[in-house]
């Protein structure tokens, strides 16, 4: 824990410093949510097909899903997601004329979670 999954538009391959993002996100989780750095695991899922709104074809998506053990306050969760979004904007530089749709959320891991 935490288990982090980042879905991103495939067109961002060259515009998203994924390793840098993960290495910046992990300390945020340690500082704000009390996670242990060695427990942070981030995987990136390249999304080939995504449609936004009327799909003009110039939109890219990054969605960060963070799964934590239960017990964090809503305020802590909000601080983490706001920090994650700030990092997305720092580590993703979409090509000229493209619109980035970034989102983040936290969910509690089920009580059955084991590692």
**In this structure, is residue 98 part of a structural domain?**
yes
Q: Is 113 part of any domain?
A: no
CATH number at residue 52: 3.30.429.10
Q: Which strands form 41-47's sheet, in the order they lie side by side?
A: 41-47, 3-9, 59-68, 99-108
Q: How many CA atoms lie within 13 A of 92 on its CB side?
A: 27
pLDDT at residue 48, rounded to an integer: 87
**% of the chain at pLDDT higher than 90:** 79
Domains contained in the chain, number: 1
> Above pLDDT 70, what percent of the chain?
98
Instruction: Single out the residue of 44, 48, 45, 46 nearest to residue 19, CA to CA.
Output: 44
| Domain region containing 24 | 3-108
pLDDT in tens, 70-101: 999 999 999 999 999 999 999 999 888 889 99
Decide if 114 is inside a domain.
no
């Amino acid at each position: 824990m935490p288990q982090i999954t980042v879905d991103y538009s495939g067109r961002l391959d060259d515009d998203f410093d994924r390793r840098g993002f993960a290495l910046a996100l992990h300390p945020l989780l340690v500082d704000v949510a009390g996670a242990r750095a060695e427990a942070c695991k981030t995987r990136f899922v390249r999304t080939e097909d995504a449609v936004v709104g009327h799909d003009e074809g110039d939109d890219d998506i990054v969605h960060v899903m963070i799964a934590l053990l239960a017990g964090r306050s809503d305020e802590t969760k909000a601080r983490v997601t706001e920090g994650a979004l700030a990092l997305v904007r720092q580590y993703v530089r979409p090509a000229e004329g493209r619109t980035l749709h970034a989102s983040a959320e936290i969910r509690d891991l089920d009580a059955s979670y084991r590692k």
